[in-house]
Structure 1
Amino acid sequence: MRIVDMGDGTLAPRDERPHEPGPELLWNESYYLDFVSEDGGLGGYVRFGLYPNWGRAWFWACLVGGDRRPVLIADHDARLPSGGDPAVTGDGYTAAQRTLEPMRTARLTLASDDLHLDLEWRTAGGVYGYALTPRYEIPCQVTGTIDGEPFAGHGERDHSWGVRDWWSVSWLWSSGRLADGTFLHGMQANVGVALPWPAFTVPPGGEVEHVENFSAAGEFADDRPSGARLGFPGLGTTVEPLAGASLELISPDGAPARFSRSMCRFVADDGRVGHGWTEWHQPPGWREHGWGHLV
């Protein structure tokens, strides 16, 4: 298994475990898991966001697409878990992520009034560590059951730790897989300057490779995301939202931010098509620095 560490070179399987919190109110330990069926017709995501100094956990889970009605669970006042892997219980649900083999396999279980998930994420191609913040992303094959029915698809899981201030910076994050097995991932924050943004690809059956000079641009209609353009050198890709599962996030002092996340269709310029997830984060004043650029 390949680990591409763009940071300080210390990323290791031990980082699957929780980290010592910093002193900041918005210090956060976050675990994401998303998934899309092989045909792109059904997908969802789950997030555990632990704020030890704010005294709460955020838990999100959604399912969109197919012939099912959309499901969205959003609990911003869950009890903080204790111990190792994240596990939360709230009104009408229980959820847990278990690391079965560090950096290789993780299992998610969710039992709620509206949705039951029992899914495994198995690493496909290795692990990618960010340089700008303590975080890693893992492209995966995803299998298991949804409401007792078999599921097979792909997705990504990630783990980050550090200050997570949702109300200061806008960004575009996107992760997908083309039908030939190529994984794509890129993230760009809108901070008014160009930086070496985290991005990688995985060729069919291959390993994670960092991509230089990634860029992205979001598109909006009436302040709602309507698409995006991803600039992987030699592999320009258009993102088309299919089904959204967005949230309003309220800061400790009452400021709102819109977290827009959608299951999407990815169309590469060479004609290849795939599916995945994209987020367009919209904090207060999100338009002030524009919305990304292509280089």
Structure 2
Amino acid sequence: MRIVNMGEWPLSEEDEQLHEPGDDPLWNESYYLDFVTDDGELGGYVRIGLYPNWKRTWFWARLVRRDGGLVEITDHEAPPTGLTLSGDAYEADLTTSDPLRTVRLRLAAPGLSLDLEWHTRGGVYGYQLTPRYEVPCEVTGTVDGRPFQGHGERDHSWGVRDWWTISWTWSSGRLSDGTHLHGTQVNLGMPLPWPAFTVPPGGEIEHAGGFTAGTRFDGDRPAETLLSFPGRAVTVRPVAFAPVTLVSPEGAVATFPRAMCALESDDGATGFGWTEWHQPPGWREHGWHPLL
């Protein structure tokens, strides 16, 4: 397993566990896990976001189907007690069975039952400017008691997370030729060394320098994004949206369109994954890169 660490902070197996909180009210520790079948018929994601100084945990779970089916759980008042959560209508537990290699998520709720494992494929990618890492994965287990086989990505980050000041585009997926890919672009209106990687079929993770993303919107809703990797361009189109609305301690509102997406590479490969276009207040003035 290869570790690509772009940052100055060390990345180790111990980072799979919870970290000592900072003092900022918006210091957050976040675990994200998404999944999708290879044919794009079914997908979902779960996020556990602990705000210990705000005295709460945000818990999100979404299951979507290509035919428009959506099951959603949103709890923004869960206690910040760790990675085992219990709400009015759900119980969830995230465990690490093999650090940086395998994690397991179990969720029991009316209309939604998950027992899934994320198995690392190709390596682990550490971010440059913030303590965060992304992991391309094969995903196996059960969804609502039925066998599940697919792919996805998980990430883990810790530090100040202010959802109401900065917008971004984030995307990950797997193509039919076996390539995993990921790219993040913070929308500041200027080129920077954005976090991005690819994993060739059966190979190891590699940083993708020069990554950019441009998006075309239909009103406020994303309609199409072009991910530009070195030597490869991938078009992303939403298949099923599973959004979240986020309210700050002061009452500011951000919208978070996240969608299971179809991917099409300029060399003919296709695939599926997840993409998010974060929209804080005034997001259109944040330097979004338009798709012309």
TM-score by structure 2 length?
0.97
Task: Tell me which moved more, 9-18 or 90-99.
Answer: 9-18
Moved over 6 A (4+): none
1:171 corresponds to: 168
Look up the match of 1:265: 262
Residues 68, 257 of structure 1: alpha-carbon distance in 2 compared, 3 angstrom cutoff: closer
Tell me the distance in 2 between the aligned counterparts of 1:20 and 1:292.
Answer: 36
Which of 281, 286, 289 matches 1:284?
281
Q: SS at 2:15's partner residue?
A: helix
Match of 1:128 among 111, 125, 143: 125
How far 1:91 sits from its partner (Å)?
1.3
- How do residues 85-104 of structure 1 correspond to structure 2 at under 5 angstroms? 86-104=83-101
Give, in angstroms, the shift of residue 217 of structure 1. 1.0
CA shift digits 1:99-142 (9 cap, x unpaired): 00000000000000120000000000000000011100000000
SS in 2 for 1:287: helix
Task: Answer with 280-289 or 59-68: which moved more.
Answer: 59-68
What whole-Å deviation, never above 9, does each CA across 1:12-34 have from its counterpart, x for those lacking one? 11100111111001000000000
Corresponding position of 2:216: 219
Q: Deviations over 1:42-70 (max 9, x none)?
A: 00000000000000000000000156831
One-letter identity of the residue aligned with 2:113? H
The alpha-carbon deviation at position 292 of structure 1 amounts to 2.2
**Which residue pairs with 2:6 in the alignment?**
6
- Alignment partner of 1:47 is 2:47: yes
Paired residue for 1:185, among 168, 182, 186?
A: 182
CA separation in 2, counterparts of 1:258 and 1:6? 29
Q: Which moved more, 1:218-227 or 1:199-208?
A: 218-227
Sequence identity (%): 64
Q: Which amino acid aligns with 2:275?
A: T
Give the aligned residue type for 1:166. Answer: W
Alpha-carbon offset, residue 87 of structure 1:
1.4
8 A contact 2:6–2:126 mirrored in 1: yes
* Correspondent of 2:232 among 217, 235, 257: 235
Which runs of 5 or more residues in structure 1 are unaligned? Answer: none
1:55 alignment partner AA: K
Superposition map of 1:196-207 within 5 A: 196-207=193-204
Give the deviation of 1:71 after TM superposition: 0.3
Q: Is the 8 A contact 1:28 1:162 kept in 2?
A: yes
Does the Cα contact within 8 Å between 1:117 and 1:146 map onto a contact in 2?
A: yes
Is the 8 Å Cα contact of residues 188 and 292 (structure 1) preserved in structure 2? no
1:165-216 deviation per Cα after TM superposition (whole angstroms, max 9, x unaligned): 0000010000000011100100000112211000000000000000100000
Q: In angstroms, what is the RMSD of aligned CA positions?
A: 1.2
Equivalenced residues, count:
291
* Aligned mates of 2:289, 2:131 — CA distance in 1: 22
Cα distance between partner residues in 2 of 1:62 and 1:68: 12
Does the C-alpha gap of structure 1 residues 192 and 69 become closer, same or farther in structure 2, counting only changes over 3 Å?
closer
How far apart in 1 are the matches of 2:246 and 2:155?
20
The match for 2:246 is 249
Say if 1:194 and 1:154 are closer, same or farther in 2 by CA, change over 3 A.
same
- 1:28 matched to 2:28? The reply is yes
| Aligned-partner Cα distance in 1 for 2:68–2:109 | 16
- Matched to 1:290, the amino acid is G
TM value normalised by structure 1: 0.96
Deviation at 1:291, TM superposition (A): 1.3
Q: Is the 8 A contact 2:188 2:287 kept in 1?
A: no
**Contact 2:6–2:128 (Cα < 8 Å) also in 1:** yes
Distance 1:233 1:24 in 2: 38
